[in-house]
Amino acid sequence: MITVRRAGEFDAREMAGLLDAIIRKGGTTAHTKPVSRDSLLEWMHRAPTRSAWFVAETDAGEIKGFQFIEPHHELGPDVGDIATFVAIGETGFGIGSKLFEKTKSAAQALGYRWINATIRADNAGGLAYYQSRGFEDYAFHPDVPLANGQIVDRISKRFDLT
């Protein structure tokens, strides 16, 4: 059984490990550098009054995914930027759906009018996930350099909350 709850500082090490495994595998995230517990804690504290972080965990307390929403500084105060990470081998089991229900409610409570998701164009799973939640394409970003020098196209999708 998977339950979703607010993420806390004590979750940061396991969340970083989950994300590091995704980064090492490659192909689905724009992140290319290893993530530590401390760097994840920095992210969690970037916008403490306008962000919400959630983890999906098993009954045994193992984190299988996490999702967060935070301000999108380039798109203005009405827009929350979302990111979703599900453990390798755990996609397709409803983890992302459960996370999004909590995040969507939090986004409304935080006063966002819509949610932005920007995904690598070669991340078929990520594109399908956001599409299945009701996100719609609104922008295409060609030839975006990642931190490791790789060039990828990215697609921005939006989900209206109002």
Q: Which domains does the chain have, with CATH numbers?
A: 2-117 (3.40.630.30)
Nearest to 32 by CA among 40, 20, 43, 23: 23
Give residue-wise pLDDT tens across range 84-98. 999 988 877 789 999
- Token pair for 132: 């299945």
| Predicted pLDDT at 89 | 83
pTM: 0.93
Q: Are 23 and 31 in contact (CB under 8 A)?
A: yes
Q: Inform me whether the pLDDT recorded for 136 exceeds 70.
A: yes
DSSP lists the bridge partners of residue 117 as: 157
